[in-house]
A and B are shown apart, each in its own frame.
Chain A
Amino acid sequence: MLLTLSTTDRSTNSPKMEHIVIIGNGISGITTARHIRKLSDHKITVISAETDHFFSRTALMYIYMGHMKYEHTKPYEDWFWKENRIDLKRGFVESVNTAQKSLQFADGSSMNYDKLVLATGSKPNKFGWPGQDLDGVQGLYSKQDLDALEVNAPNNKVCQRAVIVGGGLIGIELAEMLSTRGIPVTFLVREESFWNGVLPSGESAMINRHIVSHHIDLRLGSNLREILADENGRARAVVIDETGEELACDLVGLTAGVSPNIDFLKDSGIELGRGIKVNRLLETSAKDVYAIGDCAEQREAIGNRRPIEAVWYTGRMMGETLAQTLCGNPTEYKPGHWFNSAKFFDIEYQTYGWVFSDRNKADHEQHFHWAHEDDTKCITVAYHKDSRLFLGINTFGIRMRHEVFDRWLTEGRDVDYVMSHLKQANFDPEFFAHFENNINQAFAAQLQTA
Chain B
Amino acid sequence: MSRVDKSMSLAGGPPVAMKTGQKVGTLLGLFGLGILTLATFNVSLPNQGLWLALALLSIGGGILVYSKSLYKDTLPGIKNHGVWLKSVSSRGFWAWVAGIALTGFYIVLYFFAELLGQGSGGAENTGLIGLFDPLSYALKGQPASQWFVYGTLYTLAILAFGIKFIWKYRHNSYEKIRTGSVMFFQTVFAFLIPEIMARLNGDLPYYDLKNVWPLNYYLFDQWNVDGLLINGSFGLTLLIWGIASILVITPILTYRYGKRWYCSWVCGCGGLAETAGDSFRQLSDKSRSAWRVERWVVHSVLVFAVVTTTGVIHSYLGDGSQYWFSRGTFLIAVGVVLTLLFGLIWKYKRHELKKDARYGAIGYLVIILALIGLHFSAASDNLLIFQTHEVRSTYGFLIGSVFSGVIGTGFYPIFGNRVWCRMGCPMAAILGLQQRLFSKFRITTNGGQCISCGNCSTYCEMGIDVRAYAQKGANIVRASCVGCGICSAVCPRGVLKLENTDTQGRINSNDVLLGNDVDLMDLVNQR
Asked if A336 contacts B523 (CB within 8 A), the reply is no
Per-position binary interface string of chain B over residues 209-244, scored 1 when its CB falls under 8 Å from any chain A CB and 0 otherwise: 000000000000000000000000000000000000
Asked if A346 contacts B13 (CB within 8 A), the reply is no
Per-position binary interface string of chain B over residues 44-85, scored 1 when its CB falls under 8 Å from any chain A CB and 0 otherwise: 000000000000000000000000000000011110111111
Known: A56-B454, A66-B85. A75 touches B467 (CB 8 A): yes
> In chain B, what residue has the closest Cβ to A54?
B452
Per-position binary interface string of chain A over residues 322-354, scored 1 when its CB falls under 8 Å from any chain B CB and 0 otherwise: 001000010100111101011101101010000
Can you pick out 5 interface pairs between chain A and chain B where the beta carbons lie within 8 Å of each other?
A: A62-B453, A67-B490, A150-B5, A329-B523, A339-B447
Total interface residues on A, CB under 8 Å, equals: 65
The residues of A that contact B13 with a CB separation of less than 8 Å are 154-157, 181-182
Asked if A399 contacts B492 (CB within 8 A), the reply is no
Interface residues of B in 431-454 (CB under 8 A from A): 446-449, 451-454
Per-position binary interface string of chain B over residues 6-23, scored 1 when its CB falls under 8 Å from any chain A CB and 0 otherwise: 000000111110000000
The residues of B that contact A432 with a CB separation of less than 8 Å are 172-174
CA distance A77 to B517 in the complex (A): 30
CA distance A68 to B518 in the complex (A): 35
Asked if A182 contacts B520 (CB within 8 A), the reply is no
CA distance A439 to B387 in the complex (A): 69
Asked if A339 contacts B84 (CB within 8 A), the reply is no
B360 within 8 Å of A by Cβ?
Answer: no
CA distance A300 to B471 in the complex (A): 29
The residues of B that contact A158 with a CB separation of less than 8 Å are 3, 5
A281 within 8 Å of B by Cβ?
Answer: no
B527 within 8 Å of A by Cβ?
Answer: yes
Asked if A345 contacts B494 (CB within 8 A), the reply is no
The residues of B that contact A401 with a CB separation of less than 8 Å are 446-447
Known: A66-B85, A75-B467, A150-B5. A339 touches B449 (CB 8 A): yes
The residues of B that contact A335 with a CB separation of less than 8 Å are 515-517
The residues of A that contact B248 with a CB separation of less than 8 Å are none
Known: A58-B452, A429-B497. A180 touches B14 (CB 8 A): yes
Per-position binary interface string of chain A over residues 206-232, scored 1 when its CB falls under 8 Å from any chain B CB and 0 otherwise: 000000011000000000000000000
Tell me which of A157, A317, A350 contacts B493 (CB under 8 A): A350
CA distance A97 to B467 in the complex (A): 38
Asked if B452 contacts A56 (CB within 8 A), the reply is yes
The residues of B that contact A310 with a CB separation of less than 8 Å are none
Per-position binary interface string of chain B over residues 124-142, scored 1 when its CB falls under 8 Å from any chain A CB and 0 otherwise: 0000000000000000000
Asked if A331 contacts B523 (CB within 8 A), the reply is yes
Per-position binary interface string of chain A over residues 137-165, scored 1 when its CB falls under 8 Å from any chain B CB and 0 otherwise: 00000000000001110111110000000
Asked if A27 contacts B515 (CB within 8 A), the reply is no
> In chain A, what residue has the closest Cβ to B512?
A403
| Distance to closest chain A CB from B465 (angstroms) | 9
The residues of A that contact B75 with a CB separation of less than 8 Å are 213-214, 345-346
B interface residue numbers (CB < 8 A to A): 1, 3-5, 12-16, 75-78, 80-86, 90, 171-174, 177, 287-288, 446-449, 451-455, 457-458, 467-468, 471, 485, 488-490, 492-494, 497-499, 513-520, 523-524, 527
Asked if B4 contacts A72 (CB within 8 A), the reply is no
Tell me which of A38, A77, A429 contacts B173 (CB under 8 A): A429
| Distance to closest chain A CB from B393 (angstroms) | 40
| Distance to closest chain B CB from A129 (angstroms) | 24
Asked if B447 contacts A320 (CB within 8 A), the reply is no
Tell me which of A27, A59, A429 contacts B485 (CB under 8 A): A429
Asked if A399 contacts B516 (CB within 8 A), the reply is no
Tell me which of A35, A69, A72 contacts B524 (CB under 8 A): A35
Tell me which of B81, B82, B457, B492 contacts A343 (CB under 8 A): B492
| Distance to closest chain B CB from A351 (angstroms) | 10
CA distance A79 to B292 in the complex (A): 15
> In chain A, what residue has the closest Cβ to B459?
A67
| Distance to closest chain A CB from B264 (angstroms) | 13
Asked if B494 contacts A427 (CB within 8 A), the reply is yes
A321 within 8 Å of B by Cβ?
Answer: yes
Tell me which of B4, B14, B515, B517 contacts A151 (CB under 8 A): B4
Asked if B517 contacts A336 (CB within 8 A), the reply is yes
The 7 closest A-B pairs by CB, nearest first: A402-B447, A346-B77, A182-B14, A155-B13, A154-B5, A399-B494, A59-B453
CA distance A77 to B16 in the complex (A): 29
> In chain A, what residue has the closest Cβ to B494?
A399
The residues of A that contact B485 with a CB separation of less than 8 Å are 429
CA distance A403 to B81 in the complex (A): 32
Known: A213-B75, A350-B449. A65 touches B81 (CB 8 A): yes
> In chain B, what residue has the closest Cβ to A180?
B81
| Distance to closest chain A CB from B499 (angstroms) | 8
The residues of B that contact A151 with a CB separation of less than 8 Å are 1, 3-4
Asked if A68 contacts B173 (CB within 8 A), the reply is no
> In chain A, what residue has the closest Cβ to B454?
A72
The residues of A that contact B1 with a CB separation of less than 8 Å are 151
The residues of B that contact A370 with a CB separation of less than 8 Å are none
Known: A180-B14, A402-B447. A67 touches B84 (CB 8 A): yes
> In chain B, what residue has the closest Cβ to A410?
B518
Asked if A56 contacts B451 (CB within 8 A), the reply is yes
Known: A75-B467, A154-B4, A339-B449. A431 touches B173 (CB 8 A): yes
Asked if B15 contacts A180 (CB within 8 A), the reply is yes
A313 within 8 Å of B by Cβ?
Answer: yes
| Distance to closest chain A CB from B508 (angstroms) | 12
13 further A-B contacts with Cβ under 8 Å, apart from A56-B454, A429-B498, are A66-B81, A67-B455, A74-B454, A154-B3, A180-B15, A180-B81, A213-B75, A313-B449, A313-B515, A331-B523, A402-B448, A429-B172, A431-B174
Asked if A313 contacts B493 (CB within 8 A), the reply is no
CA distance A317 to B524 in the complex (A): 11
CA distance A20 to B461 in the complex (A): 39
A73 within 8 Å of B by Cβ?
Answer: yes
A312 within 8 Å of B by Cβ?
Answer: yes
| Distance to closest chain A CB from B158 (angstroms) | 21
| Distance to closest chain A CB from B492 (angstroms) | 4
Tell me which of A324, A345, A427 contacts B497 (CB under 8 A): A427
The residues of A that contact B14 with a CB separation of less than 8 Å are 155-156, 180-182
| Distance to closest chain A CB from B514 (angstroms) | 5
Asked if A62 contacts B455 (CB within 8 A), the reply is yes
The residues of A that contact B493 with a CB separation of less than 8 Å are 341-343, 348, 350
Known: A313-B448, A320-B520. A341 touches B494 (CB 8 A): yes
CA distance A69 to B283 in the complex (A): 11
CA distance A156 to B16 in the complex (A): 12
CA distance A388 to B437 in the complex (A): 45
Known: A343-B492, A348-B493, A403-B514. A334 touches B519 (CB 8 A): yes
| Distance to closest chain A CB from B137 (angstroms) | 41
